[in-house]
Structure 1
């Protein structure tokens, strides 16, 4: 296979220590002054009393709305309610044919939207 016509010049400019397989994203971001947290949405904050006042369907809706940014205390509140959360989820959703995939029942919660 023939190398690009500027290959030799580029290799000479990069030097012998150049490793095309090596890439350090943290080093590049630091050089550019970037922080990945600046690009991520912030996690919501729920007070304990706010969570305690939420219905089970409200808790499930909050889980769905927040996706992978769910705060720990929301998860803990759902776990604390255990069977009540499970019953609420099972009333609005039914298992699909492929493992964890879910199908919404009409008028159900938003937990799998």
Structure 2
């Protein structure tokens, strides 16, 4: 894929601790993350929602879910590929401000967060 589209931007979401997740499943997930260079890895812990099929399944121990989430977070942060965008000109949609930091924030089409010095004239553009 990267040969065909060198600037492709790959993101993934990982839910840690789905009730049927085995140690082997988790190892395979981490192996896949190591194999491919995702620019963004968004992780979350599984939370059971009442009325869903998963809520009726035996839940993984909270300790296991927490350990897997920590492993994922520890891998994702230093392996983010967003640093390659620093200093580059990219198109972004600005939609918010962080008043306490004096910043205007937005997102690129690949959902990378963009932060610039506060300029309310950019909002909605």
Q: TM above 0.5, one fold?
A: no
Q: Which has the higher strand share?
A: 2
Q: Which is greater in Rg?
A: 1
Q: TM-score, normalised by structure 2?
A: 0.28
Q: TM-score, normalised by structure 1?
A: 0.30
Q: Which has the higher helix share?
A: 1
